[in-house]
Amino acid sequence: MKTARSIRIGTRNSPLALYQSREVQRRLCNLGMPSEIIEITSDGDMDLVTPLYDMGIQGIFTKSLDVALLQNNVDIAVHSTKDIPTKQAQGLTLSAVLERATSLDCLVLPAGTLTIDFTKENIIATSSLRRKLQWSNRYPHHKTENLRGNIQTRLEKLDQSDWHGAIFAQAALNRLEISSHHMIPLDWMLPSPAQGAIGIVCREDDQHALEVCHAINHSNTKMCISVERDFLAALHGGCAVPIAAYAELRNDELFFKGNITSLDAKEKIEIEMKFSLKEVAHAGELAAEAIRKRGAIEIIKTFRPS
């Protein structure tokens, strides 16, 4: 692999995005590969009021970086893989995924609060429709509120509000070493497809960038998140449809869980399946077909009427 050309790393300018880009840069440095980080503001960072599922845009956090890649202003773009659309811009590809951290969501309590009584009529904040509906399905007596912004901004809003908690991706809090608030892991809540994984996108015709990305790719993680993303794509999902998925390799088999929750949060359809490594290439599509047969297609129609 040639190492002469410095790699330009495109990233959003939030603290979490910069952490993820520096993690990629560190791995490139370990390969003896020079690089520089170029910060770019995304559309999703500019509107911090509208819920993500109301924006109606695929790739709200990736669009600006896609443009930078296609205009050859950066060589690779680093994202939270869950933000990368399953149908990418023509000419771009998800070229690498780093080893996945925890995929769990967690409930963060206001600073100084150590417990929560789930039997009371609590107010829980989140910008994610998936989290909102899974929470409301489990706790129908609770109320949910919209919460946008980077991690630090959301924590400040939580502390300044009358909310009893807010839902975050635990990997994000761990990466930023947040210790100021008490966190409760939500092992019952199924995550967004590819949650917890850092993804790298580059141009399909940039052989040098492709080789660099291949050198730092974690193949088992990419296999799992590819199944999750295939499941999402087969159901024509996105941030506007509350589809959840998680795949895990155990003893040369892939274990898969998926679900979708109705808009009124009263119905949740779930599947659990197991695949051999020979079946992995089609596992996402097979899982999507299985959950359709259990009634998911009727729920999806309520979010995207035909």
- Report the CATH number that the domain containing residue 243 is assigned in CATH: 3.30.160.40
Residues 135 and 210 in one domain: no
pLDDT at 207 over 90: yes
pLDDT band, residue 236 (cuts 50/70/90)? confident
- Residue 84: give its domain's CATH number: 3.40.190.10
Residues 149 and 160 in one domain: yes
Residues 126 and 66 in one domain: no
Q: Which pLDDT does position 239 carry in this prediction?
A: 67
pLDDT band, residue 128 (cuts 50/70/90)? very high
- State the average pLDDT over residues 36-55: 60
Residues 93 and 213 in one domain: yes
Residues 14 and 91 in one domain: yes
Residues 94 and 202 in one domain: yes
For the chain, percent of residues with pLDDT exceeding 70 = 91
**Distance separating alpha carbons of residues 247 and 260, to the nearest angstrom:** 15
pLDDT at 287 over 90: yes
Known active-site residue 83:
yes
Q: Which pLDDT does position 243 carry in this prediction?
A: 96
Residues 223 and 211 in one domain: no
Residues 70 and 206 in one domain: yes
The amino acid at 58: Q
Retrieve residue 249's tokens: 């390799």
State how many domains the chain has: 3
Catalytic hit among 45, 66, 75, 83: 83
Helices (H), the chain: 15-30, 43-46, 52-55, 63-70, 129-138, 151-160, 170-175, 207-216, 219-234, 280-291, 297-303
| Residue numbers of the domain that contains 275 | 219-301
The average confidence (pLDDT) of the chain is 91
pLDDT at 290 over 50: yes
237 lies in some domain: yes
Residues 270 and 256 in one domain: yes
Residues 123 and 145 in one domain: yes
